Chain A
Amino acid sequence: MRKSKLLPGMAMLLAVLLMSMRFVSDGYKVGDTVADFKLKNVDGKAVSLADRKDVKGYIIAFTCNTCPVAKAYESRIIALNEQFAPKGYPVVAIQSNDEQRSPGDSYGAMQQRARGKSYGFPYLHDETQAVAKAFGATNTPHMFVLKKEGDAYKVAYIGAIDNNQRDAAAADKKYVEQAVTELLAGKPVTMPTARAIGCGIKWRDA
């Protein structure tokens, strides 16, 4: 009797395990509610999603100082904040690279970068990499658009900023801009995920 109850359970568990192995990240999927976090900003203050009551959502950017792709997209991340922060979707940038493996991404280097480029948004240090893991961020840059529903933040878009790394003007698919524009218009996001070549996040040696 006990055995017969146990077996389907174990089979189920095995199935779930096998299925989860098919995906590179076990992080959030589109539609998931994200757990709030508290990370240190470059100004020394802690930042959480719940801090701002006036927003409609967030544009989360996992990025860094050192990755050539992230650097190519830096001005586009700044532009997204300028375009959408006034409309209720500010950018929150998060840097998760391990500073042992990537010294150019130390907290001090992050502070310099944010100051040098006058970031108008938080640039948070994910020192333990727990937030990148929770989100399932793997690249820099890796974008997550969150939509506020009540007190919850739901993932509405995951992936690339646009489809032309080298030349912003030549990009004819601006994934993040399109997703946020659709959310602001109360429409469903037509392209909820898009992939792009980027730098792998430099994970701390286990």
Chain B
Amino acid sequence: MKTCLAFLAVWLVCSVCLPARGQSVAVIKLAQLGPLLNKTDDTLRVVNFWATWCAPCVKELPQFEAVRQKYADRKLSVLLVNLDEPDALETKVKPFVKKRNLRSRVVLLDEPDQNAWIEKIAPEWSGALPMTLVVNRAKNIRKFIGKAVKEGELETIINAYKPQ
């Protein structure tokens, strides 16, 4: 089953013939993340908070890649907010993104005082990883998922909001 999925993943990537460009991982501050979450355009944003050391996060990442591809022709974007330590950017995060061939936008949030920012991102969030937000400020859409997403759960949520 796993091998099957791996083949499928390879096939999917090859079939769309993406240029082998290196995915960059920008290091950002909360002040830059806030505007990304609160854009008032008509794009539905799926924002996942993860870390390379978080096993359930790593396991669910393919689901985010899958919805990004499935809804590529809709107004939907996927943002993967990495919460590894900033000094793991070159040693862990970038190699991980390359190895997994992640095509979604990945940023590393560099904000050491976690107590100061976790609540600002989501008041109902304790800080447990993984965490996912599905948001669109203009349409007043905000769905908080405080644990790993189940198979198919993302699509159900996305479909409910009918991205154009």
Interface on A for B, CB 8 Å cutoff?
A: 22-25, 68-69, 138-139, 142, 159-160, 163-166, 173, 175, 194-203
Contact = CB atoms under 8 A, between A and B. Distances in A.
A24 to B, nearest CB: 4
Given A22-B124, A25-B126, A164-B112, A196 B147 contact: no
Contact of B115 (A163, A201, A202): A163
A175 B127 CA distance: 16
Contact of B128 (A23, A194, A199): A199
Interface residues of B, number: 24
Interface string B112-140: 11110011000111111110000000000
Secondary structure at the A interface, as helix, strand, loop or mixed, is loop
Contacts of B127: 139, 160, 195-198
A157 to B, nearest CB: 13
Interface centre among A23, A165, A197, A198 (most CB of B within 10 A): A197
A92 B84 CA distance: 29
A159 B115 contact: yes
8 contacts: A22-B123, A139-B128, A195-B125, A195-B127, A197-B127, A197-B129, A199-B129, A200-B56
Contacts of A25: 126
A24 B124 contact: yes
